[in-house]
Structure 1
Amino acid sequence: MIRECQSSHILSKNVNHILFSKSSGRVICRISLSSQIKQSATMSYVNDEIFKEDREEIEPDVKTNEKKSSDNNKNNNKNKKDGDISTSVTPEFLSNKSYESVEEALEMFKNDALISKPGTEFNYSTHGYTLLSAVLEKAAKTPFKEQAKQLFNELGMNHTVVDQNEQIMPNRARYYYRDRHHKLKNVPEVDNSYKWAGGGFLSNVNDLLIFANAMLYSFHHSRNESQVSDDQSLRPLLERDALKTFWEGEVDGKHGFRYGLGWYKKPKTVEYGGGNGCTRNGFWMHTGAAVGASSVLVVKPNFNGSNTDGVCVAVLVNLHDCKNVTHLALELAEIFEKH
């Protein structure tokens, strides 16, 4: 049995109080978990050889221009107000420019300085997924938005869409942040068209759990050949070999995690007999930090036997830089795992 846990909290404000209220689950919010969903589309639709060839053709010439980066940082610091949201995010996250295509969005960063020499250390990059989506567009010869829509339709994620400001979205959440006086304020309007693949989707907890369950099923399918079926409805989202590559976690993701293709991995380990140390490991997850929203998605399989048990947890909060959402998700997974 697959246990699902959803926690979607929406902030509401009246004259005297700030209230946390549990949403109905229908409210759609910035999830900033696009990279995990996009990676699934990549592994589902693009084979390795096409991917390799097209990446070489489209990859921009990234120049190490330290002076440009330094000058930009100085200018940005001058414009920051004390306690304003701009002090807690990098300037491009507050961009309100609309990009017509993924390839056009590459202009935002293609000449930026490198953080480190390629292949020397792990650094998470939202822009890296924008670049990857450009590769995916070229390989599949289909716009990224159309590929995403197709995947959502196939999985039944009927409330997940790319974040576009001009469209009327039923149940779209409002987004907030707290200033240095802990006062709740509206976040500025931003346009996420520069990072659809790296954090530009709107979704709700129900849809995220659909995606998480598809990943959980793919994991168990990859471990147990007897689960292979001719019934097309039982095909995994990711086939065995793709999933092993997908969740391998070969890179040191820091803070005790490994990093795979779009997912953080906490390997299942038990240090001492009779202990219970496995309650906080043996899972895959990713957090999301968008302007005015925080999110986390956890997939924790049951490693015992050949069943398809597991726990999937999705947490969405429409508050910028909300603390401890990962801790909350892992606590919920632990509680549901015991029942």
Structure 2
Amino acid sequence: MASHLSGIRHYYGKSWDEIFIQQHYSNLTDALSIFKNDSLQVKPGTKFLYSSNGYILLGAAIENITQQPYLSYMKQNIWGPIGMHATYGDIADSVMDHKSKFYYLTGEEATPYDLSYSYSTGGLLSTTDDLTKFGLAIIGDDFIDQETKRLMFQNQVTSDMRNVGYGLGWFVEEDINNKRIWFHTGELPSSGSILAIFPDQEIIIALLVNSPIVSYTQGEFFEYMMQLEKLVESY
């Protein structure tokens, strides 16, 4: 599931309809009802199929193993120790200081939606400072041991040994000069996020936008990231 080889479906179709779920889920196990009765799209291991629903299942596993709500577990074991004190679950109808307003690409202010089903797959609020701390913790030697890191960023393969360009939770790429880049993006109809790690240069790039960004790079996202890395490295 962590490498999107499970065969579990992603959001339905090309629309954002499933994201606008207004039902509140008290835990991620309850949120499994969204897809648990649906058939697998392919036989597990045979094809890379990006699946946010697979990460809901991973979040539910964390809750069941630890007997803690997902957000509490993350705050206690990940965000707190790293110093990510401005990272939270996006709680529906909550009032938070300094929270950005979100907008569709039309310029219209976005309609609020309940993201309680998706805390383990993207329903979070954060800052570029916190994301940078997260990136630094990953490339450092204190928070994650070397063997775990090797597994996280090892290019996974299908059952017929085709590389998928993805590790465990991260896209893994190299440019023409063999510079490694580990990255991930996030996007909702009214927001976008990018975290890119260049481990060999020890460069972290974090971008947050209160409108969609990634879908509209027209396939040139990777090139944009490399240009940003060159700009940062030149300073």
TM-score, with length taken from structure 1: 0.60
- CA displacement at 1:204 relative to structure 2: 0.7
- CA displacement at 1:166 relative to structure 2: 2.5
Matched, 1:171 2:98: yes
Residue matched to 1:317: 209
Matched, 1:338 2:234: yes
Structure 1: distance between partners of 2:157 and 2:89? 29
Residue by residue, what CA displacement relative to the aligned partner does 1:63-100 show, whole Å, maximum 9, x if unpaired? x9xxxx9xx97xxxxxxxxxxxxxx6342111111111
Structure index of larger Rg? 1
Structure 2: distance between partners of 1:321 and 1:296? 9
Structure 2: distance between partners of 1:184 and 1:266? 34
- CA displacement at 1:321 relative to structure 2: 4.5
RMSD, aligned CA? 2.6
Residue correspondences, number: 220
User: Could you say what secondary structure the match of 2:183 adopts?
Assistant: strand
- CA displacement at 1:141 relative to structure 2: 2.3
- CA displacement at 1:134 relative to structure 2: 1.0
Structure 1: distance between partners of 2:67 and 2:117? 20
Structure 1: distance between partners of 2:92 and 2:222? 28
Matched, 1:108 2:34: yes
Matched, 1:159 2:51: no
- CA displacement at 1:295 relative to structure 2: 1.1
User: Could you say what secondary structure the match of 2:61 adopts?
Assistant: helix
Structure 1: distance between partners of 2:143 and 2:15? 34
For 2:147, give the aligned amino acid.
D
Residue matched to 1:258: 165
Matched, 1:196 2:119: yes
- CA displacement at 1:167 relative to structure 2: 2.0
TM-score, with length taken from structure 2: 0.84
Residue matched to 1:224: none
Structure 2: distance between partners of 1:326 and 1:201? 24
- CA displacement at 1:261 relative to structure 2: 0.6
For the structure 1 residues 121 and 299, does the alpha-carbon distance in structure 2 shift closer, same or farther, using more than 3 Å as the test?
A: same
Residue matched to 1:130: 56
Residue matched to 1:25: none
Residue matched to 1:267: 174
For the structure 1 residues 129 and 123, does the alpha-carbon distance in structure 2 shift closer, same or farther, using more than 3 Å as the test?
A: same
- Kept in 1, the 8 Å contact 2:48–2:164? The answer is no
- Kept in 1, the 8 Å contact 2:63–2:69? The answer is yes
- Kept in 2, the 8 Å contact 1:152–1:158? The answer is yes
Matched, 1:187 2:79: no
Residue matched to 1:96: 22
For 2:88, give the aligned amino acid.
V
User: Could you say what secondary structure the match of 2:177 adopts?
Assistant: helix
Structure 1: distance between partners of 2:222 and 2:88? 24
Residue by residue, what CA displacement relative to the aligned partner does 1:1-46 show, whole Å, maximum 9, x if unpaired? xxxxxxxxxxxxxxxxxxxxxxxxxxxxxxxxxx9xxx8xxxxxxx
Residue matched to 2:5: none
Structure 2: distance between partners of 1:262 and 1:154? 20
For structure 2, the residue ranges without an aligned partner over 5 or more in a row are 3-7
Structure 1 segment 1-339 matched on structure 2, within 5 A = 89-150=15-76, 151-178=78-105, 183-217=106-140, 221=141, 236-251=142-157, 258-267=165-174, 277-278=176-177, 281-302=179-200, 309-322=201-214, 323-324=216-217, 327-339=223-235
For structure 1, the residue ranges without an aligned partner over 5 or more in a row are 1-34, 40-61, 74-87, 222-235, 269-276, 303-308
User: Could you say what secondary structure the match of 2:63 adopts?
Assistant: helix
Structure 2: distance between partners of 1:326 and 1:190? 30
- CA displacement at 1:113 relative to structure 2: 3.0
Structure 2: distance between partners of 1:248 and 1:103? 29
User: Could you say what secondary structure the match of 2:120 adopts?
Assistant: helix
Structure 1: distance between partners of 2:222 and 2:19? 22
User: Could you say what secondary structure the match of 1:250 adopts?
Assistant: coil
For 1:334, give the aligned amino acid.
K
